[in-house]
Structure 1
Amino acid sequence: MPDVPMFQLHGVGVDYPTPAGVVTAVHDAAFTVPHRGLTVLAGPSGSGKSTLLRVLGLVDRPARGVVRFDGTDTTRLGHAARRQLRRDHLGVVFQQPLDNLLEYLSIEDNLQAAARSARRSCDAAAILARLGLAHTADWQLTALSGGQQQRLAFGCALARGSAVVLADEPTSQLDEASADLVLETIADLVADEYTVVAASHDDRLIALGSRVVWLREGMVDGVEDRKGRAA
């Protein structure tokens, strides 16, 4: 179904319990994520970016509204079906590089472990060459820079066979040179027609987006289609 967006959100609300009572983190969010390109959830801290990314990643279930993945209403699915969709189609990259990786494993073994977690096999050498990490297969993670570690995290998503990569503030913990490596990797994935969704307040990452969902205080403040179409 080429005309169906990868994600469709309608009236999505997310609540969190706190000692002071229930707090609404996202109010009535509605937007779509196309099948190709980079969609950026942009806004200041506390605007709901990471919360919405967890909803898209089928980690959190919204309190209200509908979330469709490739035409399937995920809000109607049980836990096992949601877990299978995550395993088979979605790769998540967290903002802390080492949160994405197993520190006691070598570079190649991290890729192989990621593939096995999705019941797949992978060509680790090809993935490392694609990431500019050729000849590092036997290295330990501590031999890589922060940017290289984050690149490897994207590689783990590829090893899992994920068609969709969700990244939460992937450059926020990196210096400029390391962030450049990650931005280059994201641009490469977009060029290869992956669906990439990133939550970020990094102006350089936002500039790469083909669609930007602007968030403010848990609400969608506007959707900018960089191809010049009304979104």
Structure 2
Amino acid sequence: MAELFELAGIGVDYHTPADTVTAINDVTMTVPETGITVFAGPSGSGKSTLLRVLGLLEPPTRGTLRFDGVDTGALPHSGRRALRRERLGLVFQTPTENLLEYLTVAENLVAAAQLARRTCRPDEILDRLGLGGTGGWRISALSGGQQQRLAFGCALARGCSVLLADEPTSQLDEASADLVLDTMRYLADEGFTVIAVSHDDRLIEIGTRVARMHDGRLDGIT
């Protein structure tokens, strides 16, 4: 199994006027390019910080992060930004944070593609995600689960091969969460790399690899 991410001694510190807070410390592991990798743990365990590191939104304070064999710490800012734009799609836990509410469903997909200097066929993406016929709808007409599905669709429109989701079911009712879990399984089956952080037992159960975190440290991988 090929490894997409390689983390060696990754740590993240935040400096405050009073003290230095360590969010994650000495995380060494790999993330495969197939399946669903889930980072599980209680609030404050460092899993969301680690997701931001993997998403190249936050550089580690120490350690080395390789993405597809490339040392991301050696890249200039423009190189990291290009990787984020072209390869990495992030889905945040609040559905509306992922979308532009003043645009229609299809227009959100087109706008996402344009950010990556690409074109897309909105109807094809919507059909793949079980949202066929909603292209002309406003975002407010979608359920929370449908909005999260569309957020994954925007990542597809950008041509991203890696999908990173931060607590994607935490703001949803059970039925809406089921839609998101089905989408994540579908995307993994289609060959996308899916990485999520969650304390939702149902999401953890669908993980093909589960990394458990506690107090900023890796507590084991199953």
Q: TM-score range by the shorter chain?
A: over 0.9
Counterpart residue number, 1:50:
48
Query: What are the Cα deviations for residues 86-118 of structure 1, in whole angstroms up to 9, with x where unaligned?
Result: 111000000000000001000000000000001
Counterpart residue number, 1:114:
112
Counterpart residue number, 1:9:
7
Q: Kindly, what percent of the aligned residue pairs are identical? A: 62
Q: Provide the TM-score with structure 1 as the length reference.
A: 0.95
Residue 48 of structure 1: CA displacement? 0.5
Counterpart residue number, 1:37:
35
Counterpart residue number, 2:73:
75
Counterpart residue number, 1:167:
165
Q: Provide the TM-score with structure 2 as the length reference.
A: 0.98
Counterpart residue number, 1:28:
26
Match of residue 102, structure 1, among 100, 103, 107: 100
Aligned counterparts of 2:15 and 2:174: Cα–Cα separation in 1? 37
Gaps of 5+ in 2: none
Query: What are the Cα deviations for residues 133-175 of structure 1, in whole angstroms up to 9, with x where unaligned?
Result: 1111111000001110011000001101000000000000001
**Counterpart residue type for residue 157 of structure 2:** A
Which structure 1 residue ranges, 4+ long, deviate > 4 Å from structure 2? none
Aligned counterparts of 2:73 and 2:27: Cα–Cα separation in 1? 15
Counterpart residue number, 2:139:
141
Counterpart residue number, 2:123:
125
Number of residue pairs matched by the alignment: 222
Match of residue 62, structure 1, among 54, 60, 63: 60
Residue 73 of structure 1: CA displacement? 0.5
What SS does structure 2 have at the residue aligned with 1:6? strand
CA contact (8 A) 1:4 1:70 kept: no
What SS does structure 1 have at the residue aligned with 2:153? helix
Aligned counterparts of 2:142 and 2:19: Cα–Cα separation in 1? 43
**Counterpart residue type for residue 24 of structure 2:** V
Aligned counterparts of 1:108 and 1:17: Cα–Cα separation in 2? 42
CA contact (8 A) 1:4 1:71 kept: no
What SS does structure 1 have at the residue aligned with 2:100? coil
